[in-house]
Structure 1
Amino acid sequence: MKIMLCCNAGMSTSLLVQKMQKEAAARGMDASIEARPMNEAMDHINEADIILLGPQIGYAKGDFEKAVDGRIPVNVIPMVDYGRMNAPKILDDVAALLG
């Protein structure tokens, strides 16, 4: 599965990506996880199975949903999980969304 995290610039999200990659490996998940700044993400949306938005750009969820046209889930990472870099909870949410 390919997970794309989007944020403003990609700084704090890159740390979260590292934590999520470690957690995914520990779970034996076959996951490719990358972070992209919002201005670049739209050019790569068709490469992802799910798009996760940092809470600071949650306002853009509608734009992403329109761009993917229902083909893939778009979700905003809850502020508390993002702030705590709670990779296990975020991956649980991804698994629930992808069924």
Structure 2
Amino acid sequence: MKILLVCAGGMSTSILMNKMKKYWASIEVPLDVEAVGLAEYNEHYQDFDVILIGPQVSYRQSMIEKETGKPCAAINSTDYALGNCDRIYEQVKTLYEEMENA
């Protein structure tokens, strides 16, 4: 799975990214994930399958989808704050399924 995480500055998603790497490794699912700030996603999105957006920039979701043409979703604020990787994994699986069925 190739996931780009986008937040305001890339800092809080870096923390989440590390938790996601540990979780994905524990369930033996390959993961390629990068965390960037909103100002940088244009330079990185081409190499990723889906984009997850931090709740603090969720208002930019439709713009990011339009500009990238990639499946995109905002992470639930509670899941984001708690690093709830079980639920984030389910969200990513749904995005992948939608991408495959498109």
Q: TM-score, normalised by structure 2?
A: 0.90
CA distance in 1, matches of 2:62, 2:91: 19
Q: What percentage of residue pairs aligned between the two structures are identical?
A: 37
Is contact 1:20–1:88 with CA below 8 Å preserved after alignment? no
Native 8 Å contact 1:61 1:76 kept in 2: yes
Preserved CA contact (<8 Å) 2:72 2:95: no
Question: Structure 2 CA distance, aligned partners of 1:14 and 1:44?
Answer: 15
Post-superposition offset of 1:68: 2.1
Quote the residue 2:100 is aligned against.
Answer: none
The equivalent residue for 1:42 is 42
CA distance in 1, matches of 2:27, 2:20: 10
| Count of aligned residue pairs for this structure pair | 97
RMSD: 1.0
The alpha-carbon deviation at position 27 of structure 1 amounts to 0.9
Structure 2 unaligned blocks of 5 or more = 98-102
> Corresponding residue for 1:74?
72
AA at the equivalent of 1:66? K
Moved beyond 4 Å, runs of 4+: none
